[in-house]
Each structure stands twice: as structure tokens, then as C-alpha cells.
């Protein structure tokens, strides 16, 4: 039931604080240690892993891209992310020391299923991150970390994405824990910060009116661009995917640093460009992204910037500023994606599209 919302998608966007809290529930003990009992792969095996390969499709692939930054940073294990549809056709190098992590909301995506079957034939260990109890992908994996988002009905994934991020963070931090990585208080602080994320997401939802107004303003734009760096880059890709799926308009996400290597030629007068600014503390990156805002603005783009509430420089560089709460860099996608989901949902609504059942799309893609 839509419980008073016009679309399941909008309801699911607003369910994210709870979905994230439920996905964290019971996975941290009172000493703030991670407990992932469902991971039926022994700590000894996890200590021997020398490579991680994340395989997924669509939005789940983008959560995998965020996971790569986090997992490599916390565990120092090399981590690749690959589209499931590409994986087995390139004769990938995997062996029993490879940990394959597959991410799928539905657990039934054919491309992803075929990819993990291939990985298991090469004797890799496979952990599934999945939202659907007993689906084919978790059944065919060695272990599963369930996201507890509840059923996702809207074709466009929203709470699927944010809860996948949580599961990926938990896995990364767990691997760091079992491998005895020494980060002083950093891991403890992150675990505590994860517990504050439902409130941070709620804070973003409470600011929705600004985004709804923007969607109305840009309803006739033929194209929208999204820029981000580091974990902001997958957020840019996901923001663009949401808009393509729901509003049927040209939308592209770019790594902001790539702008000068081509995409800047697309900028013309009035083109809406969303830019995700990294938190302060990653100042080198942040400075570069702020320069990118000026570069696209000088060429006529209308810049909509997502940055920390007290980042005066980012605010000054932008035309429209969407305030993000202060969170660690690696966790920022959990809050920066919220306005982009709301923007796509609202723009499609104003256009009169069926938001829950976009044309040509199915909720789970069970053919390769
Ligand atoms: O169920 P899965 O997570 O395996 O689905 C993967 C993609 O098909 C899915 O994320 C798709 O891209 C969504 N429609 C995105 O909103």
C-alpha cells in the first residue's frame, strides 16, 4: 500500500531512514564491534583473500563503485567492480583467493546470476548482498548479507541503493576488523557515525521542498548533467540513471575531473548541472570540484550544488545550493543521493509519467 503517497517510489524514498536503521540493526554489539554471523565464511578464509571483485548491474553496480573506495581504503585489499553483463565474457582472472561480492536488490537479475555461477566455477568465494530473502542469487552464493529495506515496488531503486551502501560499509569494516587493520579510533568512529545516518537521511528528506521546486523549474530541460569526484562520482551516475529511467530525458554523470577531457563541450546556456562537493577534510579534491563549478558556470550552465551546510566557498560558487549535513567522506553518498532521487521522482511526476512503472523497464531483469 502507498500509505498516502502518490507513488511507491516516493514512499520508498521516505522509508530510507528506517530501511538503513533496520539494515544496521543487530550488526553492532555493545562494544561497537561488527557481528556478521550470517557470513558463513570463516575469518581464516577472509584473512587469506587477496582480491575482491564486486559484480552487479544498474543501481547496484553504482553502490558497488562506492564500496570500492571504502573497502580498498579500510582493508587495503585490491577491489575491482564490474558490470555483471561484462564479467564472464572477458575470461576474468579469479581463483580461490578471490572474494566475489555480488549486489542485487531482487536477487534474480540474470546477468548477475550468470556472473556468480561463473565465479563459483573458478572456486571463488561469493558473498551476496541482497534484499530478497531466499532469492536465487543468495541461494547460489556461499554467504549472504541481507539488506532489510523491505519490499521495493517502484522500478527505480532507492532504498535498495542506500541499504546496499550500508551492507557494503559493514562488509568493508568487518573485513578490516577480521584482518586486524590498525586504524586507532577511525573504525569505531565510523561505526558510531553509521548509527547516526538514519537521522542524517531524515534531515535531507525534511528539506525536500527546495528540490521539488527545482524539479518544476527544470521540467522542460532536454538534458541534465551530474558531476562528482571520489564517491561523489557514483552518486552522479546514479542521479543520472534515476532521471533517465523516470523522466526519459538525456542525463549523464561524469567524474568531475574528466570534464576538461570532453564533456565540457556539452555545456550550453541554461543546462542544469548538479555537482556533488566532497566534505571539507578532502580539501584538494574539494577545491578542484569548486573550480569545476566555476568552469561550467562560466559557460552558461545552471549549477545546482550539493555541499556541506557551512562550506561558504562551495555555496558562493553555485547558483542553487543544497545543504548536506556533516558526514565522513566515504559515507556522504547516503545523504547526497537523497535530493537526486527526489528530483527525478518529482520531475517525472510533473511530466505526467508513471513513476512506478517507467516505460520499457521491469523491476527484475531475468533475461541476459
Ligand atoms: O535487482 P538488482 O539490484 O540486481 O537490479 C539491478 C538493476 O536492474 C536495477 O538496479 C536497475 O538499474 C534499477 N531499475 C535502477 O533504478
pLDDT at 67 over 70: yes
pLDDT at 186: 82
pLDDT at 350: 97
Q: Which residue has the higher pLDDT, 51 or 183?
A: 51
Task: Find out whether 189 and 8 touch, Cβ atoms under 8 Å.
Answer: no
Q: Which atom of ligand 1 is nearest to the CA of 157?
A: 16
Kindly state if the Cβ of 318 falls inside 6 Å of ligand 1. no
Q: Tell me, in angstroms, the distance from the centre of ligand 1 to residue 310's CA.
A: 35
**126 band by pLDDT with thresholds 50, 70 and 90:** very high
- Cell numbers for 245, please give them: 529511467
CA distance 80 to 98: 11
| CA nearest ligand 1 atom 8, residue | 58
Task: Find out whether 225 and 252 touch, Cβ atoms under 8 Å.
Answer: yes
Task: Find out whether 191 and 28 touch, Cβ atoms under 8 Å.
Answer: yes
- Cell numbers for 276, please give them: 556533488
Q: Which residue has the higher pLDDT, 185 or 8?
A: 8
Question: What are the Cα distances from residue 319, in Å, to 170, 272, 303, 343?
Answer: 36, 10, 6, 17
**282 band by pLDDT with thresholds 50, 70 and 90:** confident
Enumerate residues 6+ apart whose C-beta is below 8 A from 166: 20, 23, 24, 147, 194, 197, 334
**Best mutation site among 82, 109, 133, 341 for ligand 1 pocket (most ligand atoms within 8 Å of CB):** 109
Angle CA(151)–CA(8)–CA(63) in degrees, nearest 5?
60
Give residue 52's Cα distance to chain centre: 18
Q: Tell me, in angstroms, the distance from the centre of ligand 1 to residue 201's CA.
A: 21
- Cell numbers for 148, please give them: 532489510
Kindly state if the Cβ of 109 falls inside 6 Å of ligand 1. yes
Q: Which atom of ligand 1 is nearest to the CA of 160?
A: 3
Q: Tell me, in angstroms, the distance from the centre of ligand 1 to residue 104's CA.
A: 7
Indicate the SS3 state at residue 187. Answer: helix
Measuring CA to CA, which residue among 200, 189, 163 is closest to residue 22? 163
DSSP letter (8 states) at residue 89: G
- Span between the terminal Cα atoms of the chain, in Å: 31
Condensed to tens digits (0 to 9), the pLDDT of residues 162-209 reads 999 999 999 999 999 888 887 767 888 899 999 999 999 999 999 999
pTM attached to this predicted model = 0.97
Condensed to tens digits (0 to 9), the pLDDT of residues 212-254 reads 999 999 999 999 999 999 999 999 999 999 999 999 999 999 9
Q: Tell me, in angstroms, the distance from the centre of ligand 1 to residue 296's CA.
A: 31
Kindly state if the Cβ of 177 falls inside 6 Å of ligand 1. no
pLDDT at 163: 98
**ipTM score above 0.85:** yes
pLDDT at 183: 72
Q: Which atom of ligand 1 is nearest to the CA of 364?
A: 1
pLDDT at 336: 98
Task: Find out whether 59 and 159 touch, Cβ atoms under 8 Å.
Answer: no
pLDDT at 184: 67
Q: Which atom of ligand 1 is nearest to the CA of 109?
A: 4
pLDDT at 31: 79
**132 band by pLDDT with thresholds 50, 70 and 90:** very high
pLDDT at 32 over 80: no
Q: Tell me, in angstroms, the distance from the centre of ligand 1 to residue 62's CA.
A: 10
For residue 79, give the H/E element and its range.
Answer: strand 79-83
Q: Flag the least confident range among 46-55, 275-284, 288-297.
A: 275-284
Kindly state if the Cβ of 116 falls inside 6 Å of ligand 1. no
pLDDT at 24 over 90: yes
Kindly state if the Cβ of 365 falls inside 6 Å of ligand 1. yes
**324 band by pLDDT with thresholds 50, 70 and 90:** very high
Q: Tell me, in angstroms, the distance from the centre of ligand 1 to residue 156's CA.
A: 7
pLDDT at 112 over 70: yes
Mean pLDDT, the chain, integer: 95
Angle CA(126)–CA(131)–CA(135) in degrees, nearest 5?
65
- Cell numbers for 360, please give them: 520499457
Angle CA(56)–CA(52)–CA(141) in degrees, nearest 5?
60
Kindly state if the Cβ of 157 falls inside 6 Å of ligand 1. yes
Q: Which atom of ligand 1 is nearest to the CA of 361?
A: 14
Measuring CA to CA, which residue among 189, 245, 225, 278 is closest to residue 359? 245
pLDDT at 364 over 90: no
Catalytic machinery residues: 363
CA distance 293 to 321: 12
pLDDT at 212: 97
Task: Find out whether 68 and 103 touch, Cβ atoms under 8 Å.
Answer: no
Amino acid at each position: 500500500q502507498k500509505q498516502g503517497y502518490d507513488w511507491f517510489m516516493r514512499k520508498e524514498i521516505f522509508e530510507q531512514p528506517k530501511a538503513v536503521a533496520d539494515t544496521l540493526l543487530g550488526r553492532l554489539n555493545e562494544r561497537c564491534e561488527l557481528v556478521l554471523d550470517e557470513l558463513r565464511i570463516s575469518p581464516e578464509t577472509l584473512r587469506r583473500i587477496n582480491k575482491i571483485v564486486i559484480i552487479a548491474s544498474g543501481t547496484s553496480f553504482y553502490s558497488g563503485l562506492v564500496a570500492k573506495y571504502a573497502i580498498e581504503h579500510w582493508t587495503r585489499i585490491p577491489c575491482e567492480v564490474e558490470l555483471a553483463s561484462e564479467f564472464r565474457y572477458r575470461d576474468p582472472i579469479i581463483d580461490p583467493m578471490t572474494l566475489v561480492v555480488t549486489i542485487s536488490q531482487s536477487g534474480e537479475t540474470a546477468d548477475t546470476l550468470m556472473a556468480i555461477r561463473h565465479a563459483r566455477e573458478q572456486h571463488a568465494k561469493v558473498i551476496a548482498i541482497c534484499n530478497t530473502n531466499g532469492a536465487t542469487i543468495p541461494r547460489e552464493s556461499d554467504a549472504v548479507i541481507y539488506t532489510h529495506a523491505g519490499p521495493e515496488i517502484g522500478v527505480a531503486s532507492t532504498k535498495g541503493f542506500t541499504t546496499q551502501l550500508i551492507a557494503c560499509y559493514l562488509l568493508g569494516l568487518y573485513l578490516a576488523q577480521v584482518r586486524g587493520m590498525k586504524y586507532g579510533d577511525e573504525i569505531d568512529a565510523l561505526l558510531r557515525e553509521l548509527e547516526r545516518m538514519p537521522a542524517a537521511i531524515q534531515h535531507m528528506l525534511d528539506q525536500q521542498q527546495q528540490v521539488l521546486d527545482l524539479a518544476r523549474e527544470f521540467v522542460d530541460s532536454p538534458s541534465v548533467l551530474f558531476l562528482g569526484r571520489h564517491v561523489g562520482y557514483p552518486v552522479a551516475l546514479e542521479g543520472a540513471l534515476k532521471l533517465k529511467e523516470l523522466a526519459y530525458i538525456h542525463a549523464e554523470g561524469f567524474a568531475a575531473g574528466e570534464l576538461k577531457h570532453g564533456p565540457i563541450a556539452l555545456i550550453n546556456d541554461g543546462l542544469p548541472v548538479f555537482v556533488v562537493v566532497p566534505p571539507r577534510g578532502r580539501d584538494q579534491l574539494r577545491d578542484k570540484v569548486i573550480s569545476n563549478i566555476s568552469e561550467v558556470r562560466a559557460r552558461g550552465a545552471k549549477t545546482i550544488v550539493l555541499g556541506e551546510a557551512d562550506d561558504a566557498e562551495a555555496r558562493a560558487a553555485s547558483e542553487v545550493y543544497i545543504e548536506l549535513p556533516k558526514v565522513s567522506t566515504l559515507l556522504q553518498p547516503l545523504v547526497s543521493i537523497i535530493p537526486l532521487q527526489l528530483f527525478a521522482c518529482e520531475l517525472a511526476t510533473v511530466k505526467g509519467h508513471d513513476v512506478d512503472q517507467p516505460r520499457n523497464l521491469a523491476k527484475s531483469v531475468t533475461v541476459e
